Structure 1
Amino acid sequence: MANDHTTRRDVLHSLGALSLSTLLPASRAGAQMPPGKVETKGLGAKIRFESPLSGYLTELNGKYKLRVTELVLEPGGYVGEHHHAGPGIRQVTSGYMTYVLPDRTLVYGPGEFFFESGDVTHTAQNRTDSPMVHVLFEILPVDLQGPSIMPARKR
């Protein structure tokens, strides 16, 4: 376990080592905000890294950003039905998350990764007696300010 923890820490430190100029969020008039609110209980979030995309995928440059957010869900906490403004990879770093999709329920534990497209309705719950921590690595519109979470769209 110590080696897994060190590896995750090293990755996060490497992301943080990028130049300060790439850490500054893009500011544009009329920045997008996901509409509405999602019901939550016991949820804390902290943006750990954010940078506009650049590089060989020129069609993405300046239009999207990478955001890394650490979420803590307290015992008995939950996040109601929701979507995200963009896709991303999630990793549970401690505790256990009960992840409820329309057709199945999964439980993710420490060190497990999963992908979210952003447009699938889901909920997250902590049904344990310990805090659950997970990290979101998301691709979002560069002008998005605030959380990426949004109420689920009815289809």
Structure 2
Amino acid sequence: MLIKVQELVTRQEPVQLQGTLDTKEIFRNSPEYNPLGPLEFDVNARAADDRILVSGQISCSVGMQCSRCLDPIEEKIDIPFEEQFRIVEDGNVEMNADDEAVPITGERIDLAPFLAEELVVQLPYAPLCKEDCKGLCPKCGTNWNEQSCGCDTVVVDPRLAALQDWFKPQQE
């Protein structure tokens, strides 16, 4: 999906872009995330001075594994999208440290890489099936969300192990 820069600047009216992007290429090297559908976008592009402002919403359904109990999760991720592009002359790309706009020199802007990047950045780093997921027992692997186990999961720091008997009542 391309934005024609000159057409947008001369028109002086926002352009609405809606559609989908194939997510197979985005998640090709990411085995922990499985796309369940295309990336859907609904964005508006408008010209303002020497800038192109793009804003809207993107969403995608993604399959993942809970980072605590390893159960599969299907989550629809809705993300607000905003990006600024600054129109510059060829070879006159001076970057200001405070300027967050992406410099563009061509006649067209391909939004696909920017939309894909925003989706990948917003994916949960450690997805959870639910906020209070209890996880798995480190000894026997029982899912604590489904049942409890009788394993002793108290871990004593080996440097302090000699002190663990300190407060036990002494038998005579």
Fold match by TM threshold 0.5: no
Higher strand proportion: 1
Q: Report which structure shows greater RCO (CA 8 Å, sep ≥6).
A: 1
Whichever of the two has the greater Rg, that structure is 2
